[in-house]
Amino acid sequence: MASMLTSTHLLLAAGFALVQLVVILRALLVDGRDPMSRAAWVLALLLVPVLGVVAYLLVGEPRLTRRLRHRALAAADRLVVPARAACAPAVAPREAIPDRFRAAFRLCEALSGLPAVTGNAATLAPDSNAAIDAMVAAIDGAEQSVHISFYIWLTDTNGLKVVEALRRAARRGVTCRVMADGLGSRALVRSEHWAAMHAAGVRLQSALPIARGAIAFLGNRVDLRNHRKIVVVDNRLTFCGSQNCADPEFRVKPRFAPWVDVMLSFEGPVVLENQLLFASDWMAETGEDLTGLFATPLPAPASGQGFPAIAFGTGPDSPKGAMSDVFIALLGAAEREVVISTPYFVPDTPLLAAVVACARRGVDTRLILPARNDSWAVGAISRACYPQLLEAGVRIFEFHGGLLHAKTLVPDRTVALVGSANMDRRSIDLNFENNILLCSEAVARQVRDRQDDYLRNATEILPESLGKRSIPRRLWENTLTMFSPVL
């Protein structure tokens, strides 16, 4: 009996060893993978074999189902041509964008398939509650359509304000389409409020719904999320920024509140480009044809009116490191200063090198991060980067007024990048993100002034303070950096 048990155990061990070897080989054979990511996964598979194998099968590769990938490609093919034709009268002239920033705009054009367009206007919301109130007012004034996509949508005061505005709009005949991420907004999707919107006539879709049971290994990668925050009303107004549909108190994580966000509303041709991002996601998830949204060409903007901008998206179906490339292009174009705010700083190797190089060539480079991060691992990895950044001359500030969730990058007070993308591996390689890059000294100055508000509520990290870190803390932070590509 004992020998039979021993033989069974040996067979099980041999079987698992074979599975582990196959998974390690798979991690090594995937083309185009960042070498650090490859090494991190192999290390995890060797150190924690059982958990490592399960984790790799679930989240080891940016996997989309064949059906969703096919639909996404088909949607892009059907939408980009009419959208490009609709935007043609508003194409920004070359001289409207300083030469040193053209490379960044060209990158965004390659990602979106659309040109930078001029004739835009923007308004920066004073705070998160004001941004929600502006969205509700826009929905209440809608005449044709309202399209909304959020990663996190809570059933709190602000979340329900938008729910009720959508119900009112649908009842008066406005076509309302709502997409909420299947993980980040799962509480709303399962709630009576979701059903109430459906009953009122709002068209609903849970984005990237979570597969359960054994099919979780066969469906979309479970932690690959639609992180976008998009509101488009009547093809005339759009919102873009870092804010989810929730109260700043963010009651699901009250210890870190308030969430401090940035949100801008835009009018002009860039609205149509943000509409393309929503339409692409909606068509990929539902199959509904939305090409009619781009049937009417935009009027040519009056000469000298408005500013150039481009809306673009990135995701697991984008070229590898596409979001990182945009960050790097803007950092490389800065001549005097660049100020960055991001809640999650886990850069890939090229982006970290670009931030370091920016400071080394004499650009006043400032990085604003939250003092308390809702992700302990991300906070630790960010701090492990501090010595290299400070040595290069980057000035680092930790914000104390809540969780700084605003994603902003402003070089030389001339252009501004706002949207949903963080400077971390998830935004760079995994999540579906949306951003707007704009060229306007007036708007860039407003965003830059908001960054100054963050700086006034932040403490600068000085090089001498790093020497006070304990050895266990340094060991912990530096060890976590080895696994940053898999977090």
Q: Torsion angle of alpha carbons 41, 43, 46, 48, nearest 10°?
A: -80
In the chain, the N- to C-terminal Cα span, in Å, equals 44
Annotated catalytic, 453?
Answer: no
Amino acid at 51: L
Q: How far apart are CA 352 and CA 366, in angstroms?
A: 13
Q: Looking at the DSSP assignment, which residues form a beta bridge with residue 204?
A: 178
From 261, 405, 424, 429, active-site residue: 405
Closest to 386 measured CA to CA, from 469, 472, 471, 485: 469
Closest to 266 measured CA to CA, from 444, 122, 445, 118: 122
From 227, 261, 374, 424, active-site residue: 227
Chain centre to alpha carbon of residue 42:
27
From 147, 161, 193, 407, active-site residue: 407
Amino acid at 108: C
Take residue 353 and report the two structure tokens written for it: 């090198």
Helix (H, G, I), strand (E, B) or coil at 182: coil
CB 320 within 8 Å of CB 115: no
Q: 270-286 vs 66-87: helix axis angle to the nearest 10?
A: 150
From 229, 261, 325, 429, active-site residue: 229
Backbone φ and ψ for 240, nearest 5 degrees, come out as -145, 140
Quickly tell me which residue has 């993100």 as its tokens.
433
Annotated catalytic, 161?
Answer: no
From 34, 127, 140, 234, active-site residue: 234
Sign of the alpha-carbon dihedral angle for 480, 244, 123, 318: positive
Annotated catalytic, 405?
Answer: yes
Q: How far apart are CA 357 and CA 394, in angstroms?
A: 9
- H/E element holding 200? helix 192-200
Whether the bond into 258 is cis, omega within 30 of 0: yes
From 181, 281, 325, 412, active-site residue: 412
Annotated catalytic, 234?
Answer: yes
Strands (E) in 190-274, as ranges, are 203-207, 230-233, 237-241, 259-260, 263-267
Annotated catalytic, 320?
Answer: no
H-helix segments, 246-370 = 270-286, 322-333, 349-360
Annotated catalytic, 223?
Answer: no
Q: What residues are annotated to the active site?
A: 227, 229, 234, 405, 407, 412
